[in-house]
Amino acid sequence: MLTFTILISLSTLAAMNYGIWKPPTKRDEFTMLELLLAVTMPIGIICSGLFSMCSGLFGWVFLIQFSTSLLGLIGLVIPRHGRRVASGITVSACVLGWGMLAWTVSEHHHKIDEIRNEYTIVSIENRLPTPSPTPDWSESGVDAAEKIIGKPNDNASQAEQLELLHSDHVKDFSSTPGFGVGRMPRSQLILEEFRRSKDYPEPIPQPGTLRDEIEPTGDAWPDAKVRDFFGFHVGSIGNFANFKRFGYFINRRKVAGFAPHAFESEPKPQVPYTLERLELVGLVRNPEPAVYVSEFLPRMTELDAVATRPADSFEAAGLKRLAAGEDLVANAVGSKVRLLGAIRNMTTCVKCHGGQRGDLLGAFSYRLAETK
């Protein structure tokens, strides 16, 4: 397609200059054939521009060639030096248009190199220890969670762009010798729409106090009432994991654009409850369950900097029930509600975290207050 576009541009340039310089029948007069050949230049440029835009090149190259060619036609009516003016302008149209395109390609190439250097292939094996097997788990719960959250391919623009960045198409673009314009169509990377992982969510403060004492035990809720909070809990997992920010994954040793999980907004439980605190219970990085105590909603980037506490009696008992296959346990203590929800290895999570689908990666420990 690109070769055809260049040939059209050059052939119409030659046709117009033939019409300009062919000796006229009478001195200082132009024949209809000459004028017809001259007019083919802007027509050819229009075709060239249409093919350029269809093949992913820049429309303004067509505009430069077309507008400059029209000026060349004006030169035909100028006495004495009209031929030289017309010929010079039309030649300049092609040189200027394709020269600017070559410069743009060079800038485009430079941006691709910058992004590739910023999002190099790295290993996450040491950052994400493989979870321990969880033999008893609820497949229906994982199925329901995956259905609610959706698949990363639904809005995986960042992953798709990173994959394209490191694909053979862009490697071909970089390694193919010759004029830069010839390499341009091979790169379909849309730099303007690239989602950058450095746009990390701002920390979200805990809606309640850092930690005040609350009786860890209480009255267990019936299963039917606990299930009412399943959608709220799964929504929290989706908010925290944020599939849209996933990078390009080849295997655990080859990942580009890895973005640690973090909440982008405060989860909202159903009325009449409000969220007072949400803490991450870690089960993979530590030999014993550890609850990360932070003034912000959980963020994987701060795990090494915040304090941890052991699981209290409610959380310890709840973790045993989660390991036995339950997805959510709850206790009511007066107007307060304690929730502990499982964070399990879903199909998408397995690729980076390793292990098997359904393995228990951690849990969210919630404290809710009933408003009246």
Tens digit of pLDDT per residue, the chain (372 long)? Answer: 455 555 556 666 666 666 556 555 555 555 565 566 556 655 655 565 555 555 444 455 556 556 656 655 665 566 566 666 667 776 776 676 667 667 766 777 777 777 778 778 888 888 888 888 888 787 888 998 888 887 655 445 667 777 777 765 554 444 444 444 444 444 444 454 554 545 678 899 999 865 555 555 667 777 778 889 999 999 999 999 887 777 788 888 888 888 889 999 999 999 899 999 999 999 988 889 999 999 999 999 888 889 999 999 899 999 999 999 899 999 887 788 899 999 999 988 888 898 999 999 999 999 999 887
Domain membership flag for residue 224: yes
Count: domains in the chain? 2
Domain membership flag for residue 123: no
83 lies in the same domain as 190: no
224 lies in the same domain as 338: yes
92 lies in the same domain as 171: no
Decide which of 62, 85, 107 is a domain's last residue: 107
255 lies in the same domain as 184: yes
Please report the pLDDT score of residue 185 as a whole number: 42
242 lies in the same domain as 291: yes
Domain membership flag for residue 122: no
103 lies in the same domain as 152: no
3-state SS assignment for residue 257: coil
φ/ψ of residue 235, rounded to 5:
-60, -35
CB 189 within 8 A of CB 165: yes
43 lies in the same domain as 190: no
Please report the pLDDT score of residue 132 as a whole number: 84
Q: What is the Cα–Cα distance from 185 to 170, expressed in whole angstroms? A: 10
359 lies in the same domain as 243: yes
359 lies in the same domain as 305: yes
Domain membership flag for residue 11: yes
Q: What is the Cα–Cα distance from 221 to 131, expressed in whole angstroms? A: 29
Please report the pLDDT score of residue 201 as a whole number: 81
75 lies in the same domain as 185: no
Domain membership flag for residue 15: yes
72 lies in the same domain as 144: no
> Which segments of the chain does DSSP mark as H helices, in order?
2-21, 32-54, 59-74, 82-118, 139-149, 157-165, 168-175, 180-183, 223-227, 230-241, 313-323, 347-353
Domain membership flag for residue 236: yes
Please report the pLDDT score of residue 138 as a whole number: 78
φ/ψ of residue 304, rounded to 5:
-75, -10
Domain membership flag for residue 302: yes
Going from the C-alpha of 62 to that of each of 12, 46, 49, 81, the distances in angstroms are: 13, 7, 4, 27
Burial class (CB in 10 A: 0-12, 13-18, 19+), 323: middle
100 lies in the same domain as 144: no
Q: What is the Cα–Cα distance from 308 to 304, expressed in whole angstroms? A: 10
CA torsion 284-286-292-298 (nearest 10°) is -30
Please report the pLDDT score of residue 263 as a whole number: 94
Domain membership flag for residue 87: yes
Print the domain residue range for 305. Answer: 139-370
Please report the pLDDT score of residue 156 as a whole number: 52
